[in-house]
Structure 1
Amino acid sequence: MSMVALHDLLCATRGSQAPVCRDAERAASIGFAAFRARVHAMAAWLHTYAGPRCALCIDDTYEFACALFAVLACGKEPVIPASATPGYLADLAGSYDTVLTDADLRAIASVPVADLAAHSDLSIDRDARLTLYTSGSSGTPKPVHKTLAQFDAEVRTLEREWGALAGDATVVASVPHRHIYGLLFRVLWPLAAGRPFDRTAMGEPQQLQARIDAYRATVVVSAPAQLSRWPALAGFATLAPAPRAFFSSGGPLDPHAANEYAAAFGAAPVEIYGSTETGGIGWRRQSDSSGSSESSESSESSGSSAWRPLAGIDARRGADGALEVRSPHLVHHDWHRTDDAVTFDADGRFILQGRLDRIVKLDGKRVSLPELEARLVLHPYVAQAATVLLAGASRERIGAVVALSEAGSAALRDSGRIAMANTLHRHLAGYFDAVVLPRRWRFRIALPFDTRGKLPAAALAQAFEPDAQGVDVLAQARGGDVIHYVLRVPPTLAHFAGHFPGVPILPGVVQLDWAIRFAAEHVPGVRAVASIDRLKFMAPVRPGAMLGLTLSHDATRRRVQFAYRLGERDCASGVIVYRELAGEQARAPAGERA
């Protein structure tokens, strides 16, 4: 593919029909001439707007791309909020002069492609400024000012690393274009390389095969939480044709998920490490111990948890253990200190050791939350761990959310949640003062990463509260196609009201709803219930009960068997039969059809 500098994009000599954007829902493709015409129309309209800063609150990725370059061509500054909610925009009110929405852009008539020659080419300053927003360490939106030249340097880095692998594939994504990862991988890199991008994000895993059917050659851009869901999709291992690459960013991909991709497609997803401030810093493929890209002939022997700096990036460990980088993706040429602690291996790769800025004090004792997490993952029962400071009635305490390894899941099923917490408590007691050890524990199959692959403190704290339906999920564990939950039924649960006066009992329909809802977290399509078979209620569930829920999935027959237990006593069971998804029968291998 021929790369074009981003500031020269509107005057590039590309074929008029060279695809810029593909729209699977309309079975349409938008060519380069139409893209330029649309940008010209928006630029002409924007010239009438007062104010130099335009907030782009646009959901349609194609229209967003057109508006972005129209704003730049007008000499105005694009401001890209992380969210378009009214409250979020109110917080940023002093940071923009104009808000552009999808509705605004629909009112702009496109310039006919045939008339484009009458319009002079629009020039863009290579150092034009763009502003993005991150959540910041406190959760308050934090502006990050970057230049188009920085983005241009970064897309050239991406093309050097993976351009040959991506080729002419269409970029499909499940991440938003409002954040730097989506902006780079969904919009700017494809535009610079002449590679088409999909118009809409994949909201559900079932849409992946539909995109592949429509485009054939694809590159998938997603986040760890989403990628971890896709292996449960019926026919996942037989996606055809297989995407040329899966990209992931925003947090570490669960090793179990990485192994599932490696088994299905020969290689794990390419994980990108960086930040809005720094841009891309490093990458890894957990299935690849060499840590080399497709074009590299180097071979190393250290573990696949390490990250290799991207081409052109210098990295070192600072005196305080922080990762420091020097990069063309930065606005300066000096060393930039991050807040991530690292160690380096003999081959120049780095291993992340957590954040340096998460230090808390309990009863006069200081403790590093990253250090707690790093010690936790040394235990064979732990795949990933995150800690959070929780407010209590009388004092603060630390909560730990732990994603269990296969051995940990087996131990939880065999010995129970309390025994697991005690085991990990004793493990940490060898390194830390007792007063700073976690007092509350939650065990999960995966950590609660958000759609951007981030792990916000608010999401971790929410793991210690009842969910939206009022049930407290204390533990999850997986063993093959069997998932085990430990649930606490709060005495204040609304479902007890009136059922029955004086002798409150959890309604059976609520237990059924919970079974379907929890199964839907792991089994796409289970909400399309065809029938409930062999439904039994054997024992009442009272307020405060500690319930064990086991879900057993039979994908071939599209069934999920559920069973609730109170201690050693069965209290409810049944089988959820769900309908076949549209198109699934045609795609499934003969041996997998019911």
Structure 2
Amino acid sequence: MDHAAACCATGGGVIALHELLTARCRDPRSVICVDGATATDFDTFRAHALGIAARMRMRPGLRFVLWSDEPYVFACTLFGLLAARKVPVIPANATPGYLAELSDAYDAVLDESELAAWCADVPPVQSVDSEHGAAIDAHALLTLFTSGSSGTPKPVHKTLAQFDAEVHTLEAAWGTLLGDAAVLASVPHHHIYGLLFRVFWPLAAGRPFARATCADPAQLQARITECAAQCGATVVVSTPAQLSRWPDLPGFATLSPQPRAFFSSGGPLPLDTAKQYAATFGAAPLEIYGSTETGGIAWRRQNEAQAWTPMPGIAVRAGAVEEGGALEVRSPHLGDDEWHRTDDKAAFDEHGRFVLQGRLDRVVKLAGKRVSLNEMESKLLLHPGVAEVRTVLLEGGPRERIGALVVLSADGRETLRREGRVLLLKALRRHLAAWFDAVVLPRHWRIHRALPVDSRGKIQARAVAHAFAASEEGFELLAEWDDAEGRAFELRVPHTLVHFAGHFPGLPILPGVVQVDWAMRFAREWVPGVRALASVDQLKFTMPVPPGALLKLVLKHDAARRRVAFAWRAGERDCASGAFVYREPA
């Protein structure tokens, strides 16, 4: 049997996760993982998992931290741990500080390099006792973590049966659409979304998954080409932040063969992005709404409807009005038959679909007045200049205040270019004043090109608050945007900046070398090639920069000449200019 035929040999439909290592209905040569020209078959996966199970039975301890950037190594170890009657503990990341916060949740940490070595060599299938030790408890426990609204890791204990129920839900909803497609992903497999869509669902349904992660259209095309040669069609699992970025990158519109579907989860996909995908591929991405605790709840395609449709077998309702009208869910993914209250407010239509109206746990009190940050964000989104926004309560200083981090629409960027940041923000404040008392309006505003997201596509309050702090270099970044000129930034130079000390006594000015360093920092973020700097050309300093100055930086990229020009301005006056010339890639 060739690779393409083996990829299509799903053999018997969806296999229960706890029976995966004992299943005889799966063709042993069916491909489960593709890595370049290499395809790994089911027999090899099973042998690796059972080999790890045999090793883990000899290890003392019950709860083991499982971390591997390799989805194949991760999958082998996960099922090996389950077969060994151990509890996999799957952290959001493996940094020492993060693991220290979880120290009460595990007994030992598995060594990532050791796991990779265990999966490097294929043990002879005959050497693995195929029956003994392959059975897995259907209700085996796994522990994942969610940060919640506070940012503190919170353990979520789920059974394999809950994941199995969700796999069957996904297959019932989209199994026919996916068919024999291979799964490509740009999301990590250490969180429930990636774990389900990148590991559990493909393994249970007999679909191969790509071992490499796709971060941009070029990598996506490479994986599509590999899968086309070995398996045929593909689907893509991603997040709103990544999907929103891809249309502006080279190669997006020419992906071939086109994926059968794009999946998105971790937050709402901007409507403009959904429309771009619908125009390019014929349908918007399939958005999944849910949480680590609840699993998947509902889905939508925004070119068809803005409201969310409950997934097969999921019951939803609006809670009591006096309790805020929270969305309530009853689902086999929860492991019981009780109604579960979420922190999201929802309004239902006559078809049983719902529209989310913000979270109920984001109410703050300022100057004796209660303010819903969700409501404030929803009102700001009504302004034609705002594409996305996140508000946050900023603590410290003489009193608390609200900060608003805004991503501008095309209209907003044009207003910024034409009228400037100050007038644009005045217009946004006037817009909000129609609904809110002046005392609670945001006192601090930041304009960014995108909202900060983590690896799951989630927007954390800490990251939003960080946008209002001084950068490591000391300046305050007030705005950043793209326009016809290139990329632009506006920042404030604090009086307390360390570079003013001794430069010069009695008449402090910002050193020219600092202006070049700041410009290079932004240039490198925009054009990574600038890291291989060859020279700084045409450097000019035409006006001193005093403490407290508001500066605008404009970068222009000339790719053909491998050159990024920069110009600093204070008001209408030029301060400094030059160009970074970078080397050809090796």
Return the alpha-carbon distance in structure 1 between the equivalents of residues 197 and 60 of structure 2: 31
Return the alpha-carbon distance in structure 2 between the equivalents of residues 566 and 262 of structure 1: 43
Task: State the TM-score, normalized to the length of structure 2.
Answer: 0.88
Return the alpha-carbon distance in structure 1 between the equivalents of residues 520 and 549 of structure 2: 20
2:237 partner amino acid: V
- 1:234–1:555 Cα contact (<8 Å) kept: no
- Are positions 1:453 and 2:463 aligned together? no
SS in 2 for 1:145: strand
Return the alpha-carbon distance in structure 1 between the equivalents of residues 113 and 400 of structure 2: 47
Equivalent residue number for residue 79 of structure 1: 89
Of residues 569-578 and 276-285 in structure 1, the stretch that sits farther from structure 2 once superposed is: 569-578
Equivalent residue number for residue 313 of structure 1: 314
SS in 1 for 2:402: strand
> In the alignment, which of 151, 170, 179 is matched to residue 139 of structure 1?
151
Of residues 107-116 and 74-83 in structure 1, the stretch that sits farther from structure 2 once superposed is: 107-116
Return the alpha-carbon distance in structure 1 between the equivalents of residues 180 and 509 of structure 2: 60
- Are positions 1:182 and 2:194 aligned together? yes
Of residues 528-537 and 231-240 in structure 1, the stretch that sits farther from structure 2 once superposed is: 528-537
Of residues 97-106 and 405-414 in structure 1, the stretch that sits farther from structure 2 once superposed is: 97-106
- 1:41–1:111 Cα contact (<8 Å) kept: no
Deviations 1:562-589 (A, max 9, x none): 433210112334455667778xxxxxxx
- 2:217–2:250 Cα contact (<8 Å) kept: no
SS in 1 for 2:412: helix
- 1:232–1:524 Cα contact (<8 Å) kept: no
| Deviation at residue 115 of structure 1 after TM alignment | 1.6
Return the alpha-carbon distance in structure 2 between the equivalents of residues 425 and 199 of structure 1: 48
> In the alignment, which of 231, 237, 245 is matched to residue 261 of structure 2?
245
Distance 1:117 1:53, change over 3 A: closer
Distance 1:552 1:72, change over 3 A: same
Return the alpha-carbon distance in structure 2 between the equivalents of residues 225 and 471 of structure 1: 26
- 1:307–1:351 Cα contact (<8 Å) kept: yes
Distance 1:255 1:537, change over 3 A: farther
- 1:530–1:577 Cα contact (<8 Å) kept: yes
- 2:217–2:255 Cα contact (<8 Å) kept: no
Return the alpha-carbon distance in structure 1 between the equivalents of residues 198 and 453 of structure 2: 20
Equivalent residue number for residue 298 of structure 2: 282
Distance 1:447 1:545, change over 3 A: same
Distance 1:34 1:502, change over 3 A: farther
SS in 2 for 1:491: coil
| Deviation at residue 345 of structure 1 after TM alignment | 3.2
| Deviation at residue 228 of structure 1 after TM alignment | 2.7
Of residues 37-46 and 126-135 in structure 1, the stretch that sits farther from structure 2 once superposed is: 126-135
Return the alpha-carbon distance in structure 2 between the equivalents of residues 568 and 399 of structure 1: 28
Deviations 1:223-265 (A, max 9, x none): 2222333233323322333333322211122334334433433
Percent identical residues: 62
| Deviation at residue 312 of structure 1 after TM alignment | 2.2
Equivalent residue number for residue 227 of structure 1: 243
Distance 1:348 1:480, change over 3 A: farther
Deviations 1:286-312 (A, max 9, x none): 3x1x24xxxxxxxxxxxx3x3222222
SS in 1 for 2:20: helix
1:66 partner amino acid: C
Equivalent residue number for residue 393 of structure 1: 397
Return the alpha-carbon distance in structure 2 between the equivalents of residues 64 and 273 of structure 1: 25
1:565 partner amino acid: R
| Deviation at residue 37 of structure 1 after TM alignment | 0.4
Distance 1:114 1:6, change over 3 A: closer
- 2:87–2:141 Cα contact (<8 Å) kept: yes
Of residues 173-182 and 226-235 in structure 1, the stretch that sits farther from structure 2 once superposed is: 226-235
SS in 2 for 1:131: strand
Equivalent residue number for residue 418 of structure 1: 422
> In the alignment, which of 265, 269, 281 is matched to residue 281 of structure 2?
265
The CA RMSD measured in Å over matched residues stands at 2.7
| Deviation at residue 528 of structure 1 after TM alignment | 5.2
- Are positions 1:164 and 2:180 aligned together? no
- Are positions 1:61 and 2:71 aligned together? yes
Deviations 1:515-547 (A, max 9, x none): 444345455656455766655443333332211
Flag structure 1 segments of 5+ consecutive residues without an equivalent: 292-303, 583-594
Return the alpha-carbon distance in structure 2 between the equivalents of residues 230 and 431 of structure 1: 36
Distance 1:33 1:309, change over 3 A: same
Of residues 568-577 and 49-58 in structure 1, the stretch that sits farther from structure 2 once superposed is: 568-577
| Deviation at residue 118 of structure 1 after TM alignment | 4.0
Return the alpha-carbon distance in structure 1 between the equivalents of residues 330 and 530 of structure 2: 48
Return the alpha-carbon distance in structure 1 between the equivalents of residues 576 and 179 of structure 2: 53
Equivalent residue number for residue 350 of structure 1: 354
How many residues end up aligned between the 2 structures? 565
Distance 1:461 1:580, change over 3 A: same
Distance 1:315 1:561, change over 3 A: farther
Equivalent residue number for residue 588 of structure 1: none
SS in 1 for 2:277: helix
Of residues 79-88 and 263-272 in structure 1, the stretch that sits farther from structure 2 once superposed is: 263-272
SS in 1 for 2:411: helix
- 2:551–2:569 Cα contact (<8 Å) kept: yes
